[in-house]
């Protein structure tokens, strides 16, 4: 009887019918002494607890009650300005209008999907791809098309034009760990610009280079093509503090063309 009553009350959306057991169990309880390699899960013993505590105390002294209040939809203005300065390069001058702060990188993926995806749209993405992105976009029932990094330029442009956007994780790709080569990055950027297509570069692991100098992100490669004026680019760059400091902070960002950032902000308000 309780089951019938529950069914009458709980009318789930159709997209919830396809469960993802991998995501569900990824952060489950682990045997003592084990290391979970199922996902990008930082080691808790490495979290900078003392440094975060000190930073929190400084923020409360500086901002007082404002630090605990609701803020603008796009994020704390000071943080947006700081991120804009951090990611500005010769040829690319960014302002707060190019930045939206999110609750972790996954929220940026979620609201990007809400802003852009209609039911049945295509997403061109490297394969296999990040399961969190697949889950975030599931409500729109998109069609996922495998990205071929080595496709001929004309074929790559056609594939990007046919998709609502292209999604990639060039630095230590989740779940494969692949580091995409510089020629492949340049080729994908060239195809995106020729196709006038949106290229979403997810970079949660970019700060974790340990061997040799980091490869330039696709976002930075595009900066070299700018003229220093208001930024109008094809790449939307996503980042997070979850892998470099701690996932509990829930701080991420999306940086790119102001029109794309505005669209994400609109979806956050709705």
The answer for residues whose C-beta is within 8 angstroms of residue 183's C-beta and 6 or more apart is none
Which residue has better confidence, 14 or 85? 85
Write down the residue that tokens 């760059």 correspond to.
Answer: 237
| 148-182: pLDDT as tens digits | 999 999 999 999 999 999 999 999 998 899 999 99
Taking every pair of Cα atoms in the chain, the longest distance, rounded to a whole number of angstroms, is: 68
Q: Which of 153, 133, 111, 160 lies closest to 264 in space, CA to CA?
A: 111
| 91-145: pLDDT as tens digits | 899 999 999 999 999 999 999 999 999 999 999 999 999 999 999 999 999 999 9
| 187-197: pLDDT as tens digits | 999 999 999 99
CA–CA gap between residue 159 and residue 124 (Å, rounded): 7
| Strand, coil or helix: 71 | coil
Running DSSP on this structure, what letter comes out for residue 92? B
| 3-53: pLDDT as tens digits | 445 556 767 677 666 666 555 655 556 677 777 776 778 888 999 999 999
Position 212 pLDDT exceeds 90: no
Query: What strands, in cross-sheet order, belong to the sheet with 165-168?
Result: 99-102, 252-255, 235-240, 199-202, 165-168, 122-125, 143-146
Which structure tokens are listed for 141? 């029932």
């Amino acid at each position: 009887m309780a089951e019938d009553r529950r069914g009458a009350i709980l009318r789930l959306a159709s997209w919830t019918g396809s469960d993802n057991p991998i995501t569900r169990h990824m952060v489950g309880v682990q045997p003592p002494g084990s290391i979970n390699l199922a996902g990008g899960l930082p080691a808790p013993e490495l979290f900078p607890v003392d440094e975060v505590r000190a930073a929190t105390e400084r923020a409360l002294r500086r901002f007082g009650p404002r630090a605990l209040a609701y803020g603008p939809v796009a994020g704390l203005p000071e943080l947006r300005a700081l991120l804009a300065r951090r990611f500005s390069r010769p040829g690319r001058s960014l302002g707060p209008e190019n930045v939206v702060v999110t609750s972790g990188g996954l929220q940026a993926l979620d609201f990007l999907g809400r802003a852009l995806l209609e039911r049945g749209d295509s997403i061109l993405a490297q394969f296999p791809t990040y399961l969190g992105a697949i889950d975030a976009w599931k409500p729109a029932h998109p069609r996922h098309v495998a990205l071929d990094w080595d496709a001929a330029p004309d074929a790559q442009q056609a594939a990007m034009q046919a998709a609502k956007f292209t999604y990639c994780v060039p630095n230590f790709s989740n779940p494969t760990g692949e580091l995409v080569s510089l020629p492949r990055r340049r080729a994908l950027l060239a195809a995106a610009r020729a196709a006038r297509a949106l290229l979403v570069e997810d970079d949660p692991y970019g700060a974790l280079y340990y061997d040799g100098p980091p490869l330039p992100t696709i976002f930075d490669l595009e900066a070299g093509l700018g003229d220093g004026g208001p930024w109008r680019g094809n790449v939307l760059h996503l980042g997070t503090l979850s892998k470099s400091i701690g996932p509990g902070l829930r701080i991420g960002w999306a940086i790119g063309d102001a029109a794309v950032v505005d669209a994400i902000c609109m979806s956050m308000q709705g």
